[in-house]
Amino acid sequence: MSIRENSMQLIKNPSRTLLGLALLLSLAGCQSSRAPDTNSANPSPAQSNSDPAKQPAADKPSLSGTIDNLSIYPVPNNRENLAISVVVSVSNSGAPDNANDWTLAVNTPGRRDLRGMQPVHVNGVVSMPGTGQRVDLDKEDLAIKSKDTAIAKDATLKGILTFVLPKLSAADLSNNNSTLVIHFKDGQGNSYQTGKALIGAQR
C-alpha cells in the first residue's frame, strides 16, 4: 500500500480540535504567479491552432491562487506523519476554465524539501486557526470542486486541500522558517503557483 493510500485511510476522522498543534500562517506575498510561456517565444511550425500560445488572449484563462489559511496536525493513529489542510482561493481574470493538478512543495531549511505532494481526500469537520470557522473537509475539497466547476471570468473558487507529509512533525516546520507553495494548472496546461507561505510557531 502506498504512503498516500495508507494516509487516506488513517485520516478519515481528523481531530476536531487539531490537538493544539495548529499553527498560524504568515503570508509572504501569497498572490500566485504564472510560469513563463516558453512556447510563445519560439513557436514550432508543427503547432496547431489549439496551442494555448497561439490562442487569442480572450480565449485564455488567467488564474491566480492565494493561500488564505492552514491547519497542521498529526495524522490520527500514525503520529509520525503530518497532515496539512490549506485553505486556497483561486480567481480567474480570463476565459472560464478549471484548475487541476494540485501539488504541494514544502521547504524546511537544513532538513529536506518535499515536492510534488498530491492532495488526499479526507472526511471530518475541523476548526481553522485564526478564524474559528468550522469547515467540512469532505464538502470543501478543492481538488474535487475545481474539477467539477469551471471558474468563470472575474469569479473566485475557494476550498481546502489536505496533504500528508511522511516522517515530519509540527515542530520540524514551525521552528525552522519553513515555507510552502501550492502548484496547479489550468485546463490548457498552463502552470501557476501561489506565493510562498511562511509557517511560524503559535504565540
**pLDDT tens sequence across 126-148:** 776 556 778 888 889 999 999 99
The residue ranking higher by pLDDT, 37 or 107, is 107
Largest CA distance in the chain: 58
What's the pLDDT at 127? 72
Amino acid type, 103 = T
Whole-number Å distance between alpha carbons of 128 and 72? 10
Instruction: List, for residues 84-133, the tens digit of each pLDDT value.
Output: 989 999 999 999 999 999 999 998 877 667 888 999 998 878 776 556 77
What percent of the chain is predicted at pLDDT more than 70?
A: 66
User: Are 179 and 115 contacting, i.e. CB atoms less than 8 angstroms apart?
Assistant: no
> Does the model's pTM come out above 0.75?
no
User: Are 8 and 122 contacting, i.e. CB atoms less than 8 angstroms apart?
Assistant: yes
- Look up residue 40 and give its three cell numbers: 510563445
Q: Which domains does the chain have, with CATH numbers?
A: 3-33+60-200 (2.60.40)
Mean pLDDT of 29-53: 45
Strands (E), the chain: 24-27, 33-34, 63-75, 78-92, 99-108, 112-117, 125-127, 134-136, 155-165, 179-186, 191-193, 197-200
Mean pLDDT of 30-47: 45
What's the pLDDT at 15? 41
Amino acid type, 106 = V
Q: Which neighbouring-strand residues pair with 151?
A: 97
**Which residues touch 13 (CB under 8 Å, ≥6 apart)?**
76, 123, 124
> Predicted confidence band at 9 (pLDDT cuts at 50, 70, 90)?
very low
Mean pLDDT of 43-55: 46
